[in-house]
Amino acid sequence: SNDNSKNDRSAGGPSNIYPKPDWQPGTGRARMVPDVSLVADFQAGGLSVLNNGQWVSAGGTSLSAPLWAGYTALLDQKGGKRLGQLDATLYGLAAGSDASTYFHDVTTGDNGTYKAGTGYDMCTGLGTFQGDALGDALLGGNTPPPSTDFGVTVSPASGSATAGSGTTATVSVSAGTAPPSSVALTATGAPSGVSVSFDPSTVAPGKSSTATFTTTASTAPGTYDITLTGTAGPATHTAHYALTVTAPGGTKPTLTNPGTQMAYQNRATGLTPVASGGTTPYRWSATGLPKGLAINTSIGVISGTPSAWGNYNTQLTVTDASGKSATVSFYW
């Protein structure tokens, strides 16, 4: 959608409050937006209306968001059922090898901060919808139509390893109505210091292989989207695995004391604590918060609206992946 800013650009970026759901690809731990987009440029005339004898242009989020809503409402009507929350379904369709069937992927341009590119980006999301094809997939059971040759899935779809160690996942190859005799498995997108092997590397449809993700001690911490590809002649199908690499343990995390906080009754407030060191990902907890405030245990953000005045002695704790923790106390 368009943010109707002076630059006539789309808006997007990571959330400061919501953690990234399992179904969203990419690095980092924050929920990323937008999910999808539509052309709604005022200058291009996203929608032209004749009003009192004059042509005026409409655009921006006020146009693109209702268009998406109207599109899904038509699908609800056609299918005779509510499609419900579509986020995970849309990302699942976009992650498959038939993504271009369902979405127009915007690959050029930027919004001033983030660039459009192949696949998901924080400029245009998954892209714009291919109306009939996406609608057919959603009404057909919220999953892509089955391949006639074979399919590739990975379980679990994510895992973590401390730098210098490894982890495994099971890659399954399903058989379509006209399956090949064998499927070769390969991996792409692994960062420097990460290798992926398959045992066996070639499997028959209906069978599975063990994928081993091995890291070196110098592998940079982070979350990486690795593409697992099955190939049989000209046919290819993919699955995605999110590998989180954590730094070796040994030191506990450090938590910065935010100092005394000022808040007002019945007025929304928030605090984003800062931690470093240790082994990510972190888990957060807090006691003694003002009534009405709560902490996001995944990213540590404290937010809410205080419902009662008073002085509160708050204890904030961060715990790293190895179980080491740090605690600070401050007043609110």
pLDDT digits (tens, 9 = 90+) for 147-180: 557 889 999 989 988 888 999 999 999 988 788 9
pLDDT digits (tens, 9 = 90+) for 137-156: 888 754 444 455 788 999 99
Q: Above 60 in pLDDT, residue 45? A: no
Backbone torsion region of residue 110, taken as left when φ is above 0, otherwise alpha when ψ lies between -120 and 50, otherwise beta: beta
- Indicate the domain borders of the chain: 13-139, 150-246, 254-331
- A 10 A CB-CB count for 215 gives 24
Whole-angstrom distance, CA of residue 233 vs CA of residue 303: 54
pLDDT on residue 3: 40
Residue 187: which of 167, 176, 201, 208 has the closest Cα? 201
Pick the CATH number of 150-246 from 2.40.37.10, 1.25.40.10, 2.40.50.100, 2.60.40.10: 2.60.40.10
The CATH code that applies to domain 254-331 is 2.60.40.10
pLDDT digits (tens, 9 = 90+) for 250-308: 678 899 999 999 999 999 999 999 999 887 889 999 999 999 999 999 999 999 999 98
pTM over 0.85: no
- Side-chain half-sphere CA neighbours of 144 within 13 A: 23
- Rounded percentage of the chain residues whose pLDDT exceeds 90: 37
Q: CB of 229 within 8 A of CB of 152? A: yes
Q: CB of 7 within 8 A of CB of 43? A: no
Whole-angstrom distance, CA of residue 68 vs CA of residue 71: 5
Q: Across residues 97-113, what is the average pLDDT?
A: 85
